């Protein structure tokens, strides 16, 4: 997963996978069959790790703080390592060429959307988040901003400006 995340699917060679997995060429192909199959497994692992990480958005803190934390932590990780989000990277790299892999990557978006909808609905119950738009629409608005911020962080935008944008997105949710 780390090798694909760092290099992308297309740029990752068999030698990169052998080095990343610490396996011999024959063992790698015997275990996984193909580069594509190994990438599918990497996307599954990333999705599962993301689901575990999104539990933080359901932690015991106010909903707006949870959403802000999710966005800031993603931005800060991307500023630090420039890899961005493997799901976003996969969709932007492979959408036209590998629709099945793109669909698998989109499962990460579905999980994030569900976690955001839940946080937004919690925020409405607590009177913290606006109720004039459907929760799913607000979740998708947050996701669009979040993924755009990850791309900007990957491109080297100033972290301070990215944090200001996170704060603006969160402020727009406020009741």
**17-44 tens-digit pLDDT:** 989 888 888 888 888 888 899 999 999 9
Q: What are phi and psi of 89, to 5 degrees?
A: -60, -45
Percent of the chain with pLDDT over 70: 95
Q: Which domains does the chain show, CATH number per domain? A: 42-173 (1.10.357.10)
pLDDT at residue 53 in the model: 61
**pLDDT tens digits, one per residue of 82-92:** 998 999 999 99
**pLDDT value, residue 57:** 64
Instruction: Return the structure tokens found at 22.
Output: 């610490």
Partners of residue 129 on adjacent β-strands:
174
pLDDT tens per residue across span 120-153 = 999 999 999 999 999 999 999 999 999 999 999 9
């Amino acid at each position: 997963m780390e090798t694909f995340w760092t290099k992308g699917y297309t740029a990752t060679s068999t030698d990169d996978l052998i080095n990343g997995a610490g396996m011999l060429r024959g063992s790698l192909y015997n275990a996984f069959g193909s580069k594509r199959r190994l990438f599918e497994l990497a996307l599954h692992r990333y999705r599962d790790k993301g689901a575990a990480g999104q539990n933080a958005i359901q932690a015991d803190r106010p909903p707006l703080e949870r959403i802000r934390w999710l966005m800031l932590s993603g931005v800060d990780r991307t500023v630090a390592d420039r890899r961005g989000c493997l799901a976003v990277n996969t969709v932007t790299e492979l959408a036209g060429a590998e629709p099945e892999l793109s669909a698998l990557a989109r499962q990460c978006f579905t999980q994030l959307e569900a976690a955001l909808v839940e946080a937004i609905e919690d925020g409405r119950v607590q009177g913290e988040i606006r109720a004039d738009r459907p929760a799913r629409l607000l979740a998708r608005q947050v996701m669009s901003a979040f993924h755009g911020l990850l791309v900007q962080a990957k491109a080297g935008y100033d972290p301070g400006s990215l944090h200001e944008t996170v704060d603006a997105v969160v402020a727009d949710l406020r009741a």
